[in-house]
């Protein structure tokens, strides 16, 4: 069945090639071949010249994983506690629901005021995007654990800390990992907004894409988009691999 996974990408590339070649996607839409050549340009020459794709990718990875790491470290424990304590959930949930619909782009001015231009502000924007799916899926996972398991642990004299570590966290793990996968996807989606703030060192995939837009180099722009999609796919594949290892008991 694994061989079928490549069919949809091949069909999409074929349609893209056909429609772009016929001019049905707009005058400036590059063909896949032009994007491949643009990828080579980004690797060898760079955009701007001297700022190679490798450097852009490394800088963006640092921003994404810093922001995502913050969201993970805060979101999972908070979600576990909210799922376990109805009082804490009642107190925190209104704030979560008020802030959650605000898009990361809207936080840009405040991010600059609070953190200036640099890694801290970019990580803040990315962390905001990744935080909410992580915390909400964690809450849902904890609540989905069979209450009889908790009651049995309490009957056996288990303390709250033991119940959390031995019953609730393992039972909620499938939902937690789902939240992690969604959060990582949104972290990559928030990257462009984060790099709208500007970058001090001139490196970043989002910054590179915006530079390509300003120069009307759509081939380089699409190449940057493809790189983000492919790297995000690899990261998600690693998370799914980790999921299989952690949830072998299912």
What's the pLDDT score for residue 249?
60
What's the pLDDT score for residue 145?
82
What's the pLDDT score for residue 242?
86
pLDDT tens digits, 1-54: 566 677 888 888 888 888 887 777 777 788 889 899 999 999 999 888 889 999
pTM for this model (two decimals)? 0.87
pLDDT class for 250, splitting at 50, 70, 90? low
pLDDT tens digits, 165-221: 778 888 888 899 999 999 999 999 888 888 876 667 778 898 899 889 888 899 999
Domain ranges of the chain: 58-245
What fold characterizes domain 58-245? MetI-like fold (1.10.3720)
What's the pLDDT score for residue 164?
77
Question: Mean per-residue pLDDT for 131-136?
Answer: 95
* Mean pLDDT rounded to a whole number for the chain: 87
In which element (H, E) is residue 138 found?
A: helix 119-143
What's the pLDDT score for residue 1?
55
Which pair of structure tokens corresponds to residue 190?
A: 């928030």
User: What span, in angstroms and rounded, lies between the C-alpha atoms of 99 and 192?
Assistant: 20
Alpha helices per DSSP H over the chain: 7-21, 32-44, 53-84, 86-99, 108-115, 119-143, 147-155, 160-163, 169-195, 205-214, 218-246
CA distances from 50 to 37, 39, 146, 176 (A): 17, 14, 57, 41
User: What span, in angstroms and rounded, lies between the C-alpha atoms of 222 and 213?
Assistant: 10
pLDDT tens digits, 226-239: 999 999 999 999 99
């Amino acid at each position: 069945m694994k061989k079928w996974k490549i069919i949809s990408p091949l069909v999409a590339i074929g349609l893209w090639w056909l429609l772009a070649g016929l001019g049905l996607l707009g005058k400036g839409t590059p063909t896949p071949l032009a994007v491949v050549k643009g990828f080579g340009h980004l690797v060898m020459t760079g955009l701007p010249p001297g700022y190679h794709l490798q450097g852009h990718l490394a800088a963006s990875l640092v921003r994404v994983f810093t922001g995502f790491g913050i969201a993970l470290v805060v979101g999972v424990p908070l979600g576990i506690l909210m799922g376990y304590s109805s009082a804490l959930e009642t107190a925190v949930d209104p704030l979560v629901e008020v802030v959650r619909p605000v898009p990361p782009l809207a936080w840009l001015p405040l991010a600059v005021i609070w953190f200036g231009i640099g890694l801290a502000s970019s990580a803040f924007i990315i962390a905001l995007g990744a935080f909410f799916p992580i915390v909400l899926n964690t809450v849902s996972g904890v609540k989905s654990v069979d209450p009889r398991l908790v009651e049995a642990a309490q009957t056996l004299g288990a303390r709250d800390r033991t119940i959390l570590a031995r019953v609730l966290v393992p039972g909620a793990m499938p939902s937690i990992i789902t939240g992690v996968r969604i959060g990582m996807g949104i972290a990559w989606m928030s990257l462009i907004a984060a790099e709208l703030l500007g970058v001090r060192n001139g490196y970043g995939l989002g910054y590179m894409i915006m530079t390509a837009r300003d120069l009307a180099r759509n081939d380089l722009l699409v190449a940057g988009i493809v790189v983000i999609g492919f790297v995000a796919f690899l990261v998600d594949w690693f998370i799914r691999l980790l999921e299989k290892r952690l949830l072998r008991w299912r």
